[in-house]
Structure 1
């Protein structure tokens, strides 16, 4: 037992209906420590962290902060007591400025005589951002005009403004570029050096091993181990996470590309936004990887090829000359799109699993102008079961699911539709190794069935491990093309990215 601990959760239990999310979990975090928390999706990580941050209450067990019992009444009270949290998905408030987001709930600091001094608030926001090393964001701009990453940096500023004793970072790095991650790591180390502590939740084992001083592992709501840094071993951590031995090799085992002659989807001379005269063709039965640095245009290319974004010049066509008119046309003609931004674009989080899975297939489910409930239930149950979605029923709302189970629902939606072209933008973002492995197996199976996959990814091992062919974008221009049989390495790809 650690003596000089800053924070402790003791025998924490939490259930959602018949599902027990946490079972007598005890985690002790020392002062000046970055303490990792890892586990598969649905293991209880986010449930534990949300209890610590005052978002929800435990059914039983106690929390301690600075040696005293800690009972937060909500997130604002938790922050006032010294516990702040930043989550994976977007947590900013729309329709207000960046500075108003930083000081959300603290506006009284800038009020005098009943009037909010916006100028003073903007000045303080600018000071806070500069102190964090963030100089490119104007605190006066409306939050909605910022990129997803910049909004996440604003959340970091809000969480850190009160100098928290315990800072909870829940899967935040998956939403950040390399530069954004460097800023986050620097801030985590600063809190550690100042005697505070960080509870760092991540699916990236390398990241955890590099950043953390200690690590707690959860599996199915139970704590399986707490390791000190000297005990960190990748295979050991994986086994404790999933309850069985798992080798690091879970990509494709073949070393040759296998590509059909038929072109099923083609972008011709696309120019628009950051993209400049980009031409890309996807063949039947091909996994085509698309990579590059964060602002290279790879995500824009996916949106253009699905018809979500219209290029200024050029066109996208399916098969022999059928122009992709828009996203509605794409869905009707067998093209699927899995957005990088899962909660905002890939699914309806405030609807049930059934509604999400059935959405693209409503026309096929209708009879005489009416949607048959039995058909909806049969289709959604079949694909939720096929994808092994962990839920009480297909009526369960998607906002209650773990990240991995949400992604399984998104995949199930398009598989149920029978789409033969899958545009996947970062399909394993924020996913644990067990779910990642099952998604890679699914991608391989789709390829064997003759379906075609456009795999957009920020993870080079994923691109190298899964693709028949890889194209690299740099500053909106196609800068390189590689085949699986060439014996790809990260160094080869990086040369064309920078």
Structure 2
């Protein structure tokens, strides 16, 4: 192996049951570079990363690290070789402090006579957090007090504390605000300047173009090719990912507001602390209403209030017949669906089957008295998983084994099976590839045509402009603008209301 390659894999193949996740994959990654690794959901990106970091093992093929054979038995063995990974999902444990999470398994470093010196533990945790620019996080706090973004920054601090020579960033930025993303970008730049290597897995074409020295593409478990910086264009990447041309026109093709006069939901003067302040609007039948703003503007919390998951201090959410939405159960009875931003934590049971996840909101629909017929469960799950083309072995497969895009399809299938009429979609395309994005957008258009109504919370301005009939912009908990769909409406208009 040539010394300029820090990682080399040759003819790697991996199968899960009947599914071939990787087929004869070979590639090399150099020292001191940021290498993008992209592909549609289910293309094998995370599977390949898992082989290298030791959480998975290839069926065949060989791997080298720094010129030596690399066959890690587990992640700990890779960490000892200075290979680390940041994942998209939450990797912290409730019930422990921030510092205890950071040094889990390393308590002996802070022990004397068998007793952990918690003061030293917290001090070292605070230093590690400050080192990456996350000094606002208190290492003594319980981890569950932190936002998802801050929990992710704790994981970043741990990874950097271990001083990795190779760092896999596996869709970590998708859950972060722009401020959090910039922090990650800065750390990546610093690692590259120090001659260290980053493998950057992302669906965000703009950040890939900005950050990567080269990008390797996987499709259906096969290696397609690697582009150098000067060769990278979004159109080329999309074509390599999906094997055909895909234009940017996967949003709606019309520029007119098109919904019925009938009002289906009203939000009246809703206030919750300083996070949501005196918000009012109406949602119409067949409308896609966009909610936009910076990450901490209050739009995510407003979505939870509408679903009844947060009780407002004042104001109300109700249907036009007067039915008040005061809890998730009352929302579900009123055919209101909620797709949260963090699907793994709030919407899915990862350790259960696809079938169980799809039918969980439809038990009243299929049960016979106190009995739930297994055949009816299977038929309902098969029908809606099939309609959404979930890539799976069958609906008995565990949800945790699916890619991010297919997990999102399971969330959508759950509410389609329930027959929901109003959908609250919080960042519905977060962390999914362009192919699944296009499928979600097509589904939204179809639901709109069927007279269903959608509130779409989004941090992506092209998505807001491309899909919404109306857009409400929030800043610091307040409504700062409302825009109607038109050909002349631009990102500049939205930005002006957000800042």
| Structure 2 residue aligned with 1:309 | 310
Report Cα offsets for 1:225-264 as digits up to 9, x if no partner: 1111111011111011011110112100101111211111
Q: Which position in structure 1 is the counterpart of 2:473?
A: 472
Offset of residue 3 of structure 1? 5.1
1:277 equivalent in structure 2: 278
2:116 equivalent in structure 1:
116
Q: TM-score, normalised by structure 2?
A: 0.98
User: Using the alignment, how far apart are the partners of 2:488 and 2:281 within structure 1?
Assistant: 22
Task: Kindly provide the CA deviation profile for residues 185-211 of structure 1, in whole angstroms up to 9, marking residues without a partner as x.
Answer: 001111111111001000011111110
Separation of aligned partners in 2, 1:104 and 1:227: 39
**1:386 has 2:367 as partner:** no
1:344-423 paired onto structure 2 within 5 Å: 344-423=345-424
* TM-superposed deviation, 1:64: 1.2
The CA deviation string for residues 90-128 of structure 1, in whole angstroms up to 9 with x for no partner, is: 011221111122222222221222221111121122122
* Superposition pairs of residues 155-304 of structure 1, within 5 angstroms: 155-273=155-273, 274-304=275-305
> How many angstroms apart in 2 are the aligned matches of 1:394 and 1:434?
22
Residue 423 of structure 1: how far off its partner (Å): 0.5
Structure 1 stretch displaced more, 100-109 or 340-349? 100-109
Of 440-449 and 315-324, deviating more is: 315-324
Deviations 1:8-40 (A, max 9, x none): 222211100111100111121111000000000
Q: Distance in 2 between matches of 1:105 and 1:76?
A: 10
Any conservation in 2 of the 1:177–1:294 contact (CA below 8 Å)? yes
CA deviations over 1:269-303 (Å, ceiling 9, x no partner): 00113111111211111000001111111001111
The CA distance in 1 between the partners of 2:140 and 2:27, in whole Å, is: 40
1:97 equivalent in alignment to 2:97 = yes
Per-residue deviation, 1:52: 1.2
Q: Return the offset for 1:68.
A: 0.9
Q: How many angstroms apart in 2 are the aligned matches of 1:3 and 1:128?
A: 32
CA contact (8 A) 2:353 2:395 kept: yes
- Does 2:153 align with 1:153? yes
Take 1:460 and 1:2, find their aligned partners in 2: how far apart are those partners? 44
Query: Taking structure 1 as the reference length, what is the TM-score of the superposition?
Result: 0.98
Q: Is the 8 A contact 1:2 1:30 kept in 2?
A: no
Is 1:488 aligned with 2:489?
Answer: yes
Q: Which moved more, 1:101-110 or 1:89-98?
A: 101-110
State the secondary structure of the residue aligned to 1:256.
coil
Structure 1 residue 486: deviation in Å? 6.2
Question: 2 CA distance for matches of 1:467 and 1:3?
Answer: 52
- CA deviations on 1:147-182 (whole Å, 9 max, x unpaired) are 000000000011111111100000000111011001
1:348: Cα distance to partner?
1.2
Deviations 1:392-412 (A, max 9, x none): 111111000111111111101
- Give the alignment of 1:36-115 within 5 angstroms: 36-115=36-115
Partner SS, residue 294 of structure 1: coil
Q: Deviations over 1:26-68 (max 9, x none)?
A: 1211110000000000000111111111111111112211111
Q: What SS does structure 1 have at the residue aligned with 2:163?
A: coil
**Alpha-carbon offset, residue 309 of structure 1:** 1.0
Q: Distance in 1 between matches of 2:333 and 2:323?
A: 13
Aligned alpha-carbon RMSD (Å): 1.2
Higher mean C-alpha displacement, 130-139 vs 216-225: 130-139
Gaps of 5+ in 2: none
Which residue is equivalent to 1:435? 436
DSSP 3-state at the match of 1:485: coil
Q: 2:22 corresponds to which residue?
A: 22
1:322 aligns with 2:334: no
> Does the CA-based 8 Å contact 2:89-2:344 persist in structure 1?
yes
